[in-house]
Each structure stands twice: as structure tokens, then as C-alpha cells.
Amino acid sequence: MTPGGRRSKSVAVIGCGGLGCNVLVHLAGAGIGKLYLCDFDVIAESNLDRQFLYKQADVGALKCERAAAFLHDYAPDVKTVTVDKKVTADTDLTFASSCAAVVLAVDNNEARRAAQAFCAGTGIPLVNGGVRSGFGTAYLYLPGESPCLSCAGLLETENTPERVNSATVGVIGALCAEITVAVLSGDRSAAGNLYIYDDFEIKKLKIRPERTCSCR
């Protein structure tokens, strides 16, 4: 897909923390036309080491709003829509209905389950990133085509955001953006592969659907 083709596409990014900062910058740099920035949280001093869209003066402000302000300066052609919502099982995610992909950049499984259910119902590709300390994963779920996040073992343990390494967040955020741009361009080859970053290496693990899961 040409950069011009990407201009017609929208992507929803759920979570504007460490992972989300990286995903957003790379999607904006790739020329995605419209980005939905979903986060309910405010910027804390402890975020500043890895959430590089924010600076000291932003402490206390909403992440989605300051991220949108950063992107406005960084990539003025990219439209942004801020969504000040905490994603839980009850959250209305229809703001993402027109998106070509949803990227999960969160640290909790309740949001992952809710986004996965939304994508399963709409058929929208879902890219999930997760980081724990110096270890991270990226995974593309294509509803009806590839095993879900549960089959990939991604809903078993919660992330611990206070222990994540800034550089590891960068690796996984960039990889999630790369997978998203590929799927928007018609390259769906990442689907069903769990990309695991560990010990300075990215390994690829082919995921088989669980027999007891209804995702396929």
C-alpha cells in the first residue's frame, strides 16, 4: 500500500502508556490517516522515563489529550480522535467500528478480553502487545481466521507496568506498529504467530487453536 492509501485508513489504539506512545508514533509516521487514542489515565511523574510523548509539564493531564497534541506537531496530516474511556467489559467500543485495525497497548486482561470480543463481533483485526520486565510479545488476531489471544496464552497473566524496561517497550511497540501497517497493506502473514522478544532475540511461535475455544 502506498502512503497515500494509508491516508484513508483509521486505527484505534487502546492505551496511551509506554507501548501506546511507541505504536502511535510509528503509525503516524507510516501515514495512517486517522488515529483514535483511547485512554482514561492521567500522566504521572513515574511514566516519563518511557512514555516519551509526555514531558514534565504534562504531569496530571490526560494521556490521550497530550498524545494527540504531540502527534499534531509530529505529523500534522494525521487526524486524531481522543477517547477518554477506561476499557472494561461494559465499555462501548463502537468508536472503533470504522477502523481497519485495533491495537491493544494495555496492561490488563479485562481490556484485552473486551477488545477481543468487540473485534470478534466486527471482524476487525486485533494487534496485541504485552511487556513484562525485559520480555515482550506481539500477536495478530484475525477473527475467524487465526487463534485468539486466549489460545495464544495471552490472557493468563497480567502485565506489571512498574517493572517494564523502556527499551523493551520500544521493541514491542514498534513491532505492533509494523504488524498493523502490514495488515492494512493486505499482508496478513503475521496472523497466528506469537512473536516473543526475550534475551535480545525475537522468536516466532506458531499458535494452534485450543480445542475447547470457540474462536475458530
- Residue count (the chain): 216
Q: Kindly state whether residue 120 participates in binding Zn ion, applying the rule CB under 5 A.
A: no
Instruction: Characterize the bridge pairing of strands 34-38 and 79-83.
Output: parallel
Q: Kindly state whether residue 213 participates in binding Zn ion, applying the rule CB under 5 A.
A: yes
Q: How far is CA 8 from the centre of its chain?
A: 19
Q: Kindly state whether residue 117 participates in binding Zn ion, applying the rule CB under 5 A.
A: no
Out of 28, 151, 169, 183, point to the residue binding Zn ion (CB under 5 A). Answer: 151
Q: What is the DSSP letter of 95?
A: G
> 140 pairs with which residues across the strands?
127
Q: Shortest gap between Cβ of 124 and Zn ion (angstroms)?
A: 16
Q: Kindly state whether residue 53 participates in binding Zn ion, applying the rule CB under 5 A.
A: no
Contact between 204 and 192 under an 8 Å Cβ cutoff? The reply is no
Where does this chain touch Zn ion (CB under 5 A) — which range of 34-42, 88-96, 193-201, 207-215? 207-215
Grid cell, residue 141, equals 488476531
> 42 pairs with which residues across the strands?
62
| Secondary structure of residue 173 in the 3-state scheme | helix
Grid cell, residue 7, equals 491516508
Residues 55-114 that bind Zn ion (CB under 5 A): none
Where does this chain touch Zn ion (CB under 5 A) — which range of 18-26, 38-46, 66-74, 149-157? 149-157
Contact string (CB under 5 A) for Zn ion, positions 128-147, x = contact: -------------------x
C-alpha separations of 165 from 42, 70, 81, 173 in Å: 20, 22, 28, 12
Q: Kindly state whether residue 148 participates in binding Zn ion, applying the rule CB under 5 A.
A: yes
Q: Kindly state whether residue 154 participates in binding Zn ion, applying the rule CB under 5 A.
A: no
Where does this chain touch Zn ion (CB under 5 A) — which range of 40-48, 100-108, 111-119, 151-159? 151-159
Q: Which residues bind Zn ion (CB under 5 A)?
A: 147-148, 150-151, 213, 215
